[in-house]
Amino acid sequence: MSDVQAPRFEATLTDKYQSTVPAAVRQTLHLGKRDRIAYVIRDGQVILEKVETWDNQVDPAVQAFLGFLECEMTTNPQRLKPFGGEATRRAAELVEGVEIDLDAPLEGE
């Protein structure tokens, strides 16, 4: 085993047991705002891992579209309309009788 010490980064817990992930750790794990992290306890030590989710892998085109929608909703809230009435009836009609197994493997898996 090597005598070289691994880098060590400290953080302080708040009254609500929260802390800030140090910048060097965020950079190493390529963490961004709203990313998820996991704490893995192994042999009395805690390992911090980035959780890879669909949210972490959003297509840039989808991200741009979502940004557009956010901007549009903020600047033109009068354009927002509730989803109901005829639209709800039509949506229900379109999926009537369709059965979905959420546990089934996706095509190509």
Q: Which position has the token pair 């965020």?
A: 26
Q: What is the pLDDT of residues 6-26, one digit of tens each?
A: 889 999 999 999 999 999 999
pLDDT at 22: 94
Residue 101 predicted with pLDDT over 90: no
pLDDT interval class at 58 (50, 70, 90): low
- Domain locations in the chain as residue ranges: 1-52, 58-94
Give the separation between CA 38 and CA 43, rounded to whole angstroms: 16
Q: What is the pTM of this model?
A: 0.45
**Which helix (H) or strand (E) segment is 39 a member of?**
strand 36-42
Q: What is the pLDDT of residues 28-42, one digit of tens each?
A: 999 998 888 999 998
- Cα-Cα end-to-end distance for the chain: 41
Which fold is adopted by the domain 1-52? Pemi-like Protein 1; Chain: D (2.10.260)
Q: Which residue has the higher pLDDT, 53 or 24?
A: 24
Take residue 64 and report the two structure tokens written for it: 């741009």
As a whole-number percent, the residues of the chain with pLDDT over 70 amount to 91
